[in-house]
Chain A
Amino acid sequence: MGIAEFFQHLMNGLTLGGIYALIALGYTMVYGILKFINFAHGDILMAGAYIGLFVFDGLRGDAPLGTWTMIAFFLAMLISMGFSAILGMSIERIAYKPLRGATRLAPLLSAIGVSFILSNSAAWAFGTHSRKFNYPFDNTPVHIGDVVITPHQILILSVSLIMMIILKLFIDKTRMGKAMRATSLDQGTAMLMGINVNRVISMTFAIGSALAAVGGILIALDFKVYATMGTMTGLKAFVAAVVGGIGNISGAMFGGILLGLLETFGVAIFGIPTGLKDTIAFGVLILILLIKPEGLFGKVEKEKV
């Protein structure tokens, strides 16, 4: 493999990984606070992609590619983020909140139910065909030496980087961020310290869902929008979260990027057939769970006896 080829794969892996990371953040934040996997997270991503698509197409009309399409795209992204945040919060209110304190199977089963409702409602409402999400800009690849980079990739990298920096600042610097960290450490104590745990949980779902919407739109530009698009992408993002140590925010970012690189290089170097690309994620999952179940950056949780 030449240097150019290497950089090409690196670029592809990083962009794919950036998207995984955005989605993985939602899994990891929810797990950090509620200690359960939100199975419906992938379907929120799908809903976000649909909203983004509709708003963008509506705003754009017949306008040619240009400044307006870019503005329309970012507006669509913002609206989609808002919508998904509300969707995420509502799901939590309706399907998960009544189950706090129930057996650990209950919220999990409920989440599977929500996931099924969302993906099938979308298939019913929007049809089972996939829709193209048009690029808001001219996506003609740019050649830098021998490496080919598309504007789409640059968009993905910059958007996911900006989102992650904002999130990191939010978690580290703001009062709400501090409340989130406190709640994830010990819900009971956080409550005693006057933290409104319900608000923290709602906020967590809102942020996670908004990030998922961004991930959904970014991935839709390349892979179209369809009702079950969230399933596989969601699963992979989940793997990324586990790899990084579920509950750990920086870990999720790292895990996403790592998984993206593994998939790209797995196909490129080890000659894994493209058809079995999806299996890489599962292989990684099973491997990490067997060797280091707490993930690369997670803490070992030991049940107190």
Chain B
Amino acid sequence: MLNFFLLILIYSGIYALMAIGQNVITGYGGMLSLTQAGFFAIGSYATAILTTQAGWSFWATLPVAFLISALFGLAIGLPTLRLKGDYLAIATLGFGEIVRNVLNNWDSLTNGPMGIQRIPMPVILGYTINPYKKYAFLVMVIVFVIIAYILFQRLARSRMGRALAAVREDEIAAQSMGINITKYKVYAFILGASVAGIAGSLQAAFTLSVTPGTYTFMVSVMVLCMVVLGGMGNFKASILGAFIIQFISYFPQLTGLSSVIPPQFKQILFGLILVVMMIWRPQGILGREATRYRKRAVSTTGGEQ
């Protein structure tokens, strides 16, 4: 039971990283991307392939996972950023599916649908972080989340955060204020992708095996749900959202009711969360982060005006 609770916490942490990335793109930049699962997969496979086939250590694969996903973020960001909201969503969704397709079919590199097993455990200073003993792994994940939180929070509070807000609010006015809107949109994509790549590495090190079936569209929707539920434009909220959604996800197993509750229960609930939040509380549980220039949190980001 405790062990299971730790597992939920670890997954919350891994997904919190992805949610932080999604939040940069969607919450701050106002762009609907549906491809976090794709970047997640790229990070996972980078770690899986490099550790098993090239004998790298987990830590050495991290920067690679980071860079490759960032590169893919750039690659998908540049051509698709000319697209308006709705098209962007479809194009990014397509990208996520293509990644999964490639992982499924590129047998020589990814071993196809069978995936890659026997990924070595991360070792730090001679100490093996064994995923089966969950405390150590949890600590590692928490450290990653804290680092990402601090880095992104700082970025969001700087001129970059304000530039993204301007792009989100009115692209034409933003341009006329000297903001290079393409640059900032691409930045948002790169940042969002790279942190999801890191999450992917952690996922590979935690499950010690990767299969394409893990990285479905549902993962992207879950991450989106976390951001919407917590509150767009608020990193604390993304972390909170990640925890709540993971908790809902594992609720049947946690309560021993998995034989009673149908497996679709959680997906239906995710769908409901999206609809209900949009209608009744578009700003999410915590709402957009109140900056020092906004003492009263009165902003709404959707809903009836």
Direct contact between A and B judged by beta carbons closer than 8 A: yes
Closest A residue to B262 using CB positions: A124
Do A286 and B302 have beta carbons less than 8 Å apart? no
18 contacting pairs across A/B (C-beta < 8 A): A99-B304, A103-B30, A104-B85, A105-B30, A106-B282, A107-B278, A109-B274, A115-B271, A116-B267, A116-B270, A117-B268, A120-B264, A120-B271, A124-B268, A276-B101, A279-B98, A282-B98, A285-B94
The answer on a CB contact under 8 Å between B79 and A275 is: no
Interface string of A86-129 (1 = CB under 8 A from B): 00000000110011011111111110111111101101100000
Residues of B within 8 A of A279 (CB): 98, 101
**Interface of B, helix, strand, loop or mixed by DSSP:** helix
Q: Which residues of A contact B32 (CB under 8 A)?
A: 105, 108-109
Q: Do B94 and A103 touch (CB < 8 A)?
A: no
Interface presence of B213 (CB below 8 A): no
A36 is an interface residue with CB less than 8 A from chain B: yes
- Shortest beta-carbon distance from A304 to chain B in Å: 10
Q: What does the 1/0 interface line of A217-252 toward B look like (CB < 8 Å)?
A: 000000000000001000100100010000000000
A-facing residues in B148-191 (Cβ within 8 Å): 172
Contact A113 B264 (CB under 8 A): no
B279 touching A110, Cβ below 8 Å: yes
Size bracket, chain B contacts? 35 or more
A305 in the interface, Cβ–Cβ < 8 Å? yes
| Chain B 51-95 near chain A by CB (<8 Å), digits 1 or 0 | 000000000000000000000000000011011011101110110
Does A62 reach chain B (CB closer than 8 Å)?
A: no
Number of A-B contacts (CB under 8 A): 130
Whether, in the assembled complex, A162 has its beta carbon less than 8 Å from a beta carbon of chain B, the answer is: no
In the complex the two chains form, what is the Cα distance from A94 to B275 in whole Å?
9
Are A289 and B83 within 8 A (Cβ)?
yes
Nearest B-chain residue to A281, judged by Cβ: B94
B264 smallest CB distance to A (angstroms): 4
**A235 with B94, Cβ < 8 A, contacts A105-B32, A108-B32, A112-B224 known:** yes
Contact between A102 and B79, CB atoms less than 8 A apart: no
| Chain A nearest Cβ from B263, distance in angstroms | 8
Q: CA–CA, A120 to B94, complex, Å?
A: 20
Q: B-contacting residues of A (Cβ < 8 Å)? A: 31, 36-37, 39, 94-95, 98-99, 101-110, 112-118, 120-121, 123-124, 231, 235, 238, 242, 275-276, 278-279, 282, 285-286, 289-290, 293, 303, 305
Contact B271 A305 (CB under 8 A): no
Asked whether, in the complex, the Cβ of B302 is within 8 Å of the Cβ of A102, the reply is: yes
Q: How far is the CA of A282 from the CA of B93 in the complex (A)?
A: 10
Residue B35 at the chain A interface, CB threshold 8 Å: no
Of the candidates A104, A121, A235, A286, the one whose C-beta lies within 8 Å of that of B79 is A286
Instruction: Pick the 10 closest A-B CB pairs, nearest first.
Output: A113-B274, A116-B271, A117-B271, A106-B302, A120-B267, A124-B264, A113-B275, A120-B264, A282-B94, A102-B302
Q: How far apart are the CA atoms of A104 and B302 in the complex, in Å?
A: 8
Main SS of chain A's interface residues? helix
Q: What per-residue 1/0 map shows which CB atoms of B279-296 lie under 8 Å from chain A?
A: 100100000000000000
Known contacts: A293-B87, A305-B172. The answer to whether A106 contacts B278 by CB under 8 A is yes
Chain A residues whose C-beta falls within 8 Å of the C-beta of B262 in the assembled complex: 124
Contact A114 B304 (CB under 8 A): no
Q: Are A108 and B94 in contact (CB under 8 A)?
A: no
| Residue in B79, B89, B94, B274 whose beta carbon sits within 8 Å of that of A116 in the complex | B274
* Interchain CB contact under 8 A, A113 and B272: yes
Considering the complex, give the chain B residue whose CB is closest to the CB of A273.
B105
- Give the docked Cα–Cα distance between A95 and B89 (Å): 19
B224 contacts A105, C-beta separation under 8 Å: no
CB atoms of B98 and A101 under 8 A apart? no
For B278, the chain A residues whose CB sits under 8 A away are 95, 99, 102, 106-107, 109-110, 113
Asked if residues A99 and B94 are in contact (CB atoms below 8 Å), the reply is: no
- Indicate which residue in A37, A99, A104, A116 contacts B279 across the interface (CB closer than 8 Å): A99
Distance from A89 Cβ to chain B, minimum over Cβ atoms (Å): 16
Query: Is B259 positioned at the interface, with any CB of A under 8 Å from its CB?
Result: no
Could you tell me if B274 and A285 are in contact, using CB atoms closer than 8 angstroms? Answer: no
Cβ–Cβ contact B279 & A98, under 8 A: yes
Residue of B nearest to A40 (CB): B271
A118–B240 Cα distance when bound, in Å, is 27
Q: How far is the CB of A117 from chain B (nearest CB, A)?
A: 4
Contacts of B217 in A (CB 8 A): 231
Inter-chain CA distance A117–B172, complex, in Å, is 36
Least Cβ–Cβ distance between A129 and chain B, in angstroms = 14
